[in-house]
């Protein structure tokens, strides 16, 4: 098992090596030219910063799928002010990221808007049972059991995942959970419901 885990974890690195070798051959060595390596490094810099932020979020047992849009708007602000003053561009980009992050945190913590992966919502919207391998820190598994719209296990627990797959082979189970999935989505996670939740908090004040 340990050998298989090492092999599985090394697949991304082998993939990177294969891509580099392939493009080096196809471009007749131009891929490894200093100018190209500098360009790749410059283009990867913003992605690396975003990835570092995601590591901090995931280390606290949470998920954040808004980093792409947040990165885009921060880069836009930086580009807008870069022609005026570089220091101002940096402050503007960082400030934008902080402001949007605080707003997201406020919506999540104070207005009880759940942070659910968009793919999960897509499954529920069309009435498909959810099969998930989850981080121990998330409460998504409890939500799925409460709504009876899917099956979950701890990420990496292959026997439990295989058992859940077998359970979903039962057509009656799939139909029941699919129906519950659509109903739970309509009752809890539509845009209209989210707006109602936000407005209800303001009404209380």
Query: Quick one: angle between helices 140-147 and 171-188, nearest 10?
Result: 110
Q: Give the CA count within 13 Å in the CB-facing half-sphere of 1.
A: 3
Number of folded domains that form the chain = 2
Q: Is residue 63 part of a domain?
A: yes
104 shares its domain with 159: no
Full residue range of the structural domain in which residue 93 is found? 33-109
Q: Provide the pLDDT for residue 202.
A: 67
- pTM, 2 dp: 0.47
128 shares its domain with 196: yes
Q: Provide the pLDDT for residue 128.
A: 92
Mean pLDDT by 10 residues, the chain (205 residues): 75 89 90 87 80 75 70 88 88 90 75 65 88 81 89 90 93 93 85 71 62
Which two three-digit tokens encode residue 173?
A: 């189970």
Q: Is residue 154 part of a domain?
A: yes
* CA 163 and chain centroid, separation: 26
Q: Is residue 127 part of a domain?
A: yes
Question: What phi and psi, each to the nearest 5 degrees, are found at residue 22?
Answer: -60, -50
Q: Provide the pLDDT for residue 159.
A: 92
Q: Is residue 174 part of a domain?
A: yes
Q: From 109, 141, 163, give the residue that closes a domain.
A: 109
Q: From 109, 135, 161, give the residue that closes a domain.
A: 109
125 shares its domain with 198: yes
Q: Provide the pLDDT for residue 166.
A: 93
Q: From 74, 109, 144, give the residue that closes a domain.
A: 109
At 18 the three-state DSSP class reads helix
């Amino acid at each position: 098992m340990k050998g298989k885990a090492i092999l599985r974890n090394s697949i991304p690195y082998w993939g990177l090596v294969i891509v580099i070798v392939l493009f080096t051959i196809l471009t007749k060595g131009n891929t490894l030219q200093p100018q190209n390596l500098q360009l790749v490094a410059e283009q990867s810099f913003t992605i690396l910063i975003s990835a570092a932020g995601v590591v901090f979020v995931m280390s606290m047992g949470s998920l954040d799928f808004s980093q792409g849009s947040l990165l885009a708007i921060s880069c836009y602000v930086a580009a807008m002010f870069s022609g005026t003053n570089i220091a101002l561009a940096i402050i503007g980009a960082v400030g934008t990221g902080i402001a949007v992050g605080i707003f997201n945190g406020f919506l999540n913590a104070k207005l009880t808007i759940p942070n659910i992966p968009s793919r999960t919502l897509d499954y529920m919207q069309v009435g498909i049972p959810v099969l998930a391998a989850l981080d121990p820190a998330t409460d998504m598994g409890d939500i799925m059991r409460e709504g009876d719209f899917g099956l979950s296990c701890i990420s990496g627990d292959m026997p439990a995942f295989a058992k859940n797959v077998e359970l979903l082979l039962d057509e009656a189970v799939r139909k029941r959970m699919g129906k519950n999935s659509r109903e739970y989505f309509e009752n809890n996670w539509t845009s209209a419901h989210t707006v109602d939740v936000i407005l209800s908090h303001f009404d209380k004040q």
